[in-house]
Amino acid sequence: MKRTSVLLRQHIGWHFEKHWRVQGKRKPLNTGAEKILKERNIPFCQPEDIIQEKRVFEKVEIVGFKNKPVVFDKTHPDWHDRPVLSYKDNNVLLEGLTQAKVLTKSVEVKEGLPENIVLEDIPKDIKKHVKNIILSSCVFDAEQKKLPKIKDPERPAWNFPRFYGITQNRANKLLMSRLLQLIESTCGRDDLVNERYLFNDLLFSFPFERHGDLIQFQLSGDTVITSSKPLSPITGVSTESLELPDITPVKPTITLVKDNIYKLEKSFPIKSFVSKLHPHTIFTRYNKEEVKNLFEEEVTEAQIFGRSLLKAFTVSASYARYQFGDDVGQLPKPVTVQSVQTDGQFYHFGVFQLNTLDLEKGDVKNVWYQTPLLYLYDKCCYVLGKPTLEGYNKEVVKHLYAFYNSV
């Protein structure tokens, strides 16, 4: 290659960097000045003491700056030496319904619903509307989000492809709101509709003590129907002779979450100035991706039943304290609350009558009625590109109408 003036040019920046590295490794020569100064008793100091200025930095709080992470130990402002056993929306009880009965001091008088809830036939045109509601909520909605991973117990390491579609929470919320709207518009009783209010996402909290343990139920009502008058008692049968289930050697508080950082809250979220404040029916959404066991087993039917009972108990107990005072034991008048739990496909119906809040002593017990799991449909999806609904069960809609018309 021919040498030109361009190729002979030097990269000044590169040479400067190399020169800086070489000069930076040179060691200072000992001139003997320090020795002479010491012999003549002339004071001297290091150059760092003069060149480097000593500054004291003060901490300045900057508005909008990220706060330090909270440390969950005894320095936390909500720390208590006495732990609390809590039950929240994502928990389930180990023994399910039997353990829930022991915790809430509840018994079942008979299987099925009480006699005052009458199931009536529904018109054929309503059946068509319900089918359209199911398809529009579970198939035709425009939401497209990544769905949970598909898992096969026989092949736990196999990665299935991810699908996009309507999430369970979205489909469940749409289905419930549309069914309630259909029931209100077709029940044929305008006076009854005018006595109802509908609330979403209410938080109920009920702390209590049981055999030396501090327990707190903090549960949400995804959809709550209230009325201008409380529900009538569902039974007058004496419960003193009925026995609670025996779950020994299991402790009744097993699988309740133990924590030292908490706030005890007595919460009934509907205030006194609301004209229709009496709880009528509580609707609970169930999502298997959120509601889980502590030990990673599948949630059983008994645990789903126990969840319905604890929801109804928490709502009725917080309402009873709000109405009769914090020190109430045996209630002057029973409190009745209806409970519906669903994942969009199965429905569990229950009715709870609260007779007493004295859960440690006394022979009076609370009463619980329930149905088995009822499935609204067997399949609702696209089959060969065609929207398909199979196995529609009208009994679920009958129960919803019966619950709404209860007084």
pLDDT digits (tens, 9 = 90+) for 333-382: 999 999 999 999 999 999 999 999 988 888 899 999 999 999 999 999 99
- pLDDT at position 355: 92
Characterise 273 by phi-psi region: left (phi > 0), alpha (psi -120 to 50), beta (else).
alpha
**Cα 51 → chain centroid:** 61
Determine the pLDDT at residue 5.
60
Contact 102/245 with Cβ under 8 angstroms? Answer: yes
- pLDDT of res. 297: 86
What pLDDT is attached to residue 188?
74
pLDDT tens by residue, 7-30? 556 788 888 888 888 888 888 788
Cα 380 from Cα 396, distance rounded (Å): 16
For residues 52 and 177, what is the distance between their CA atoms, to the nearest angstrom?
71
Average pLDDT rounded to a whole number, residues 81-91 = 93
136 forms beta bridges with none
Strands (E), 232-329: 257-261, 278-285
Question: Averaged over 316-344, what is the pLDDT?
Answer: 91
Average pLDDT over residues 136-150: 92
Q: What confidence category does residue 57 fall into, taking pLDDT thresholds of 50, 70 and 90?
A: confident
d(CA 201, CA 210): 28
> Which one has a higher pLDDT value, 77 or 309?
309
Compute the average pLDDT of residues 251-276: 90
Calculate mean pLDDT across residues 30-59: 84
Give me the pLDDT at residue 107, please: 93
Q: Are 180 and 223 in contact (CB under 8 A)?
A: yes
Helix pair 394-404, 124-138: axis angle to 10 deg = 100
Going from N- to C-terminal start, the domains of the chain cover 85-404
Tell me which amino acid residue 287 is. Answer: N
HSE of 166, CA atoms in CB hemisphere, 13 A: 21
**% of the chain with per-residue pLDDT over 90:** 55
> What is the pLDDT at residue 314?
95
| pLDDT for the residue numbered 67 | 73
d(Cα 299, Cα 286) in Å, to the nearest integer? 11
Reply yes or no on whether the pLDDT at 156 is more than 80: yes
Backbone angles phi and psi of 321, in degrees to 5: -65, -35
Tokens of 283: 């609707």
* Position 237 confidence tier, pLDDT thresholds 50, 70, 90: confident
CB 332 within 8 A of CB 364: no
pLDDT band with cut points at 50, 70 and 90 for residue 59: confident
With a cut of 60, say whether residue 260 has pLDDT above it: yes
Average pLDDT over residues 76-91: 91
Is residue 1 scored above 70 in pLDDT? no
Q: Do you know the residue count of the chain?
A: 407
Mean of the per-residue pLDDT values of the chain: 89
